[in-house]
């Protein structure tokens, strides 16, 4: 069963990101080479407007920037030099706001000294981004209030924490009802032995703190979120023979995950006969909307969906783009769709769980 990992040392992490690494190329895995397929056109355009100094110390492993961020309050956990904050700053626009939190002074200094030139580059009159020094396990100490955030993002950080249960509890405390956690991180194909956790390079390289995915699912269930959706997955290749030798047969994947803060999520897909219809109204997505790779909704096509999917589409910021018909008054059993039906109708298929 999942346990907190006091043997992971936060001071060693700060040292690694503040002093040992100076540049993205110093990493010993290909973690920060994101798949360009994972990056939407809007995010690519926004990345082109991020200053070189910020980009040169990007240590993320994915692109945790979901659709429909205009006007949102976004919180980036472990923001580093602020690459994703500056992308989010453009996506939320002047009516939204982005807060980045990190515990490493050297990383935050870079983020902070780029604020005014980035705001000028985006054409904003006043900053819509702030950077706070602190721990992602202690968001309350930073004054981040209950139910105050629309979207929490994070890029290759939570694996580094020695108290992951606390991080997820804090995330679900600060999210508004219907809010979203959308993050990229390194996950392990099996539990990493305790002996590897004290190795500062394996820890700093985001390997030895990586969560076994089934334990991640368990910790999410414990904070009230039993349905997580995997948006993308990429196997990491380890460039150092020494590191490779130490990790042995453990496989490490960079995974981007989405999860919503909703009251009534269930641990299986259940069928209440609900129907979702995408209105085609999301800017840049006139033909289809991808909730996740198994749930892609064509404009105007009615799709039978599980109770969980109906909740995600009707109680989140995506609600204005969907008509969701029906409720949970009548239950028809475990969600099932004939594979042929699923293939032709938008893929909401209980058998894909």
- Where does this chain bind ligand SAM (CB under 6 A)? 10, 13-14, 17, 58-60, 78-80, 83-84, 101-104, 107, 135-137, 155-157, 160-161, 206
Burial state string for 7-38 with b = 16 or more CB within 10 A and e = fewer than 16? ebbbebbbbbbbeebeebeebbbebbebeeeb
Q: Number of C-alpha atoms within 13 angstroms, CB side, residue 148?
A: 13
H or E element, residue 106: helix 105-113
The Cα 336–Cα 352 span in angstroms is 10
Least CB distance from residue 27 to ligand SAM, whole Å?
8
Between 92 and 157, whose beta carbon lies closer to ligand SAM? 157
H or E element, residue 276: strand 274-278
Least CB distance from residue 14 to ligand SAM, whole Å?
6
Between 137 and 213, whose beta carbon lies closer to ligand SAM? 137
Between 167 and 304, whose beta carbon lies closer to ligand SAM? 167
The Cα 346–Cα 301 span in angstroms is 8
Least CB distance from residue 26 to ligand SAM, whole Å?
11
Could you say which DSSP state residue 29 is in?
B
Between 170 and 227, whose beta carbon lies closer to ligand SAM? 170
Least CB distance from residue 307 to ligand SAM, whole Å?
34
Least CB distance from residue 183 to ligand SAM, whole Å?
10
> Do 63 and 182 touch, CB atoms closer than 8 A?
no
> Do 69 and 151 touch, CB atoms closer than 8 A?
yes
Between 60 and 307, whose beta carbon lies closer to ligand SAM? 60
């Amino acid at each position: 069963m999942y346990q907190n990992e006091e043997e992971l040392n936060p001071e060693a992490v700060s040292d690694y990101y503040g002093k040992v690494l100076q540049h993205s190329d110093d990493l010993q895995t290909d973690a920060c080479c994101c798949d360009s397929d994972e990056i939407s056109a809007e995010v690519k355009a926004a990345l082109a407007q991020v200053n070189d100094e910020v980009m040169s110390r990007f240590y993320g492993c994915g692109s945790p920037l979901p659709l429909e961020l205009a006007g949102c309050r976004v919180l980036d956990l472990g923001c580093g030099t602020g690459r994703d904050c500056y992308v989010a700053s453009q996506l939320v626009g002047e009516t939204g706001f982005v807060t980045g939190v990190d515990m490493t002074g050297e990383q935050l200094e870079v983020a902070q000294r780029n604020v005014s030139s980035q705001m000028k580059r985006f054409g904003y009159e006043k900053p819509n981004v702030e950077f706070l020094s602190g721990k992602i396990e202690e968001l309350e100490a930073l004054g981040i209030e209950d139910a105050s955030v629309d979207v929490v993002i994070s890029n290759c950080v939570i694996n580094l924490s020695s108290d992951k249960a606390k991080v997820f509890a804090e995330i679900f405390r600060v999210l508004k009802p219907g809010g979203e956690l959308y993050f990229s991180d390194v996950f392990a194909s099996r539990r990493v032995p305790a002996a590897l956790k004290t190795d500062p390079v394996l820890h700093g390289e985001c390997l030895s703190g990586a969560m076994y995915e089934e334990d991640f699912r368990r910790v999410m269930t414990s904070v009230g979120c039993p349905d997580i959706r995997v948006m993308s997955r990429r196997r990491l290749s380890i460039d150092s023979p020494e590191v490779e030798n130490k990790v042995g047969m453990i496989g490490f994947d960079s995974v981007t995950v989405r999860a919503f803060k909703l009251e009534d999520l269930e641990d299986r897909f259940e069928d209440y006969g609900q129907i979702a219809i995408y209105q085609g109204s999301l800017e840049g997505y006139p033909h289809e909307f991808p909730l996740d790779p198994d749930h892609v909704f064509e404009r105007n096509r009615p799709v039978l969906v599980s109770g969980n999917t109906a909740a995600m589409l009707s109680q989140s910021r995506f609600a204005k783009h969907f008509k969701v018909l029906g409720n949970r008054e009548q239950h028809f059993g475990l969600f099932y769709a004939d594979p042929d039906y699923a293939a032709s109708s938008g893929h909401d298929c209980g058998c894909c769980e």
